[in-house]
A and B are shown apart, each in its own frame.
Chain A
Amino acid sequence: MNQLAKDTQSKQIAAARLGIGGPVGSGKTAMVERLIPVLMARGIDIAVITNDLVTAEDAERVRRSGLIDPARVSAVEAGACPHTVIREDPTLNIEAADELERRFPGVELILIESGGDNLASTFSRDLTDFWMFVIDVAGGDDIPRKRGPGVIRSDLLVINKTDLAPHVGVNLPKMHEEALKVREGRPVLLTNCRKGEGIDAVVDLIEREVLFRR
């Protein structure tokens, strides 16, 4: 048998992969920026991948934030297909995550931020172990009722920008209740990423459901 047929032991994939999706402007990058310091403060070794739609702006924003070693942030271009790069063909994201694991042995959690998309956006289970979908109150309180796959099938639904609710005529308790109803009781958390409100609850859930720490 030639040398090519020899198998070698592959390195075990150690890091959990957490997808963050949601519509344009719902606060996905702000969520990443809020999660990074809390995760790091809790001793969790992390890296980040962003899927910007037309520029590397999100990746640069996270790199320049001072929150994380810029080398731990990778940008993956989506070729104008934000759905495809996280669902039908997530290979480039998988390779980017594998590469981060190779470069940073011991990384425990890789955050994969999707490009801004619509309510039909979902993550491949081959890419992520857990994914959250971020919507915001300013997008309208009817979003949960529209029952898009992102709202229904995500492991965690986050309703962000709660502080804006009174300014955009949204009944937040009702929106929360409807979200829980369409998701049949699966997690729905409220955040205000601008002020960091609700982030600890998101990280608690990540520690419990993704890292099995709590």
Chain B
Amino acid sequence: MFDLSQTLALLQFGDSAYPAGGFAFSWGIEGLLADGFVPSRGALEALIAEHLTFRWASFDRVLLGRAFRAESLEEITEIDRLTEALTLTLQMREGSRRAGKALIGVASKLGGTRAHAYRQHMSGDATLGHLTVVQGLVYRDFGVTLPAAELLSGWTLVTGLVSAATRLGAIGHIEAQASLATAREVLADLLLAPVPADAEPQSFTPLIDIAVARGPARQVRMFAT
């Protein structure tokens, strides 16, 4: 039997209609599509798996867990600064901060005490507010467990990628659902493996990083990343 309250929270916060600006970020899909790297649904699914396996699971998830457990503004700030330092490209850093600030802004207005305090704390520092850190902070505010917070983080990344690919015309609406089903399996496998206590954040997604970094140089661009 599943926990009804947690499940309903997951449906609300994991809904693509949840207003946190996610629709404006393609996390490299737009650029990769423009450069011919997404010729098929299979290629898209491979990219999603790459995002999940080599960045989200080993980097975002580790930092999210730390932020979730943090008990002071100083601790969270330190995790945020580490995220900034370890995120390779300027465009990825900016995108992560913009997405994080949108999410924390909504959570703060909805009465999240941790979200409100950290939003005030970080307002004078343009390098703070990374999405994965904010997710850890905000989802705890919302009363979800750490495993549920990890699931939300991974799933909102997946839906954002698939939604961007659909709006860019790379796949149709039926293919999108098939891609979501494929990504669900990848995400489930990753979530079943616990994060080691001594895990250090690491990522290696050069193709995606380069695609995001090239964003500002593109003449036609609809997404923030």
Query: Could you list which residues of chain A lie within 8 angstroms of chain B, going by C-beta atoms?
Result: 2-8, 10, 53-56, 76-81, 84-85, 88-92, 94-95, 98, 102
Contacts and interface: CB of A to CB of B under 8 A. Distances in A.
Contacts, number: 95
Contact of A81 (B23, B76, B105, B117): B23
Nearest to A98: B105
9 contacts: A2-B71, A2-B72, A4-B114, A5-B113, A55-B219, A79-B25, A79-B224, A89-B20, A91-B105
Interface in B67-93: 70-74, 76
A92 B220 contact: no
A79 B117 contact: no
Contacts of A76: 24, 224
B101 interface: yes
B17 A92 contact: no
Contacts of B22: 89
A73 to B, nearest CB: 16
Interface of B: 17, 19-26, 70-74, 76, 98, 101-103, 105-106, 113-114, 116-118, 120-121, 123-124, 164, 167-168, 219-224
A7 B102 contact: no
A78 B24 CA distance: 6
A80 B123 contact: no
A98 B123 CA distance: 10
Contacts of B72: 2-4
